[in-house]
Amino acid sequence: MEEFKGAKAFLMIPVGIARDKDLLNNTKAILLMGEILSMLNVTGEFFMSNSQLAKRLKTTPRTIKRYLILLEKKGLVKRTNVYADKDQKVVIGRKITV
């Protein structure tokens, strides 16, 4: 899998997201959505951890989690846990789709 080092030219932020009144009160949530869309465009999947995202956006993993919840409630992203086995006992990651 290709290592994603971040968008090089621009973040992909649709106008509807950039102008959303709820997201404008949480502007880094807009940047987070841009990171998600940019990574999906380059690699086809989103695999960056909350800690990595927090470093990139100069915030905390807890804040990233709050932004992801907001984006999910607005129907912009869907988070799905990835499990280590078929019995679904051990979560090894998560998948984010739009």
Question: b or e along 62-78 (b: 16 or more beta carbons within 10 Å of the residue's beta carbon)?
Answer: ebbeebbebbeeeebbe
CA 71 to chain centre: 9
**pLDDT score for 65:** 96
**pLDDT score for 47:** 83
Residue 4 confidence (pLDDT) above 70: no
Residue 19 confidence (pLDDT) above 70: yes
3-state per-residue secondary structure call for 37-65: HHHHHHHCCCCCCHHHHHHHCCCCHHHHH
- Angle formed at CA 13 by CA 7 and CA 18, multiple of 5 degrees: 140
Q: What pTM, to 2 d.p., does this model score?
A: 0.86
What would the mean pLDDT of 30-46 be, rounded to a whole number?
92
Q: Return the closest-CA partner of residue 36 out of 60, 69, 6.
A: 6
Please give the structure tokens belonging to residue 69.
Answer: 């919840």
Provide the pLDDT confidence category of residue 6 given band limits of 50, 70 and 90: low
Q: Any idea what DSSP says for residue 87?
A: T
Tell me the percentage of the chain whose pLDDT exceeds 90.
61
Residue 2 confidence (pLDDT) above 60: no
Q: What's the chain's average pLDDT? A: 90
**pLDDT score for 3:** 63
Q: Give 94's strand partners.
A: 81
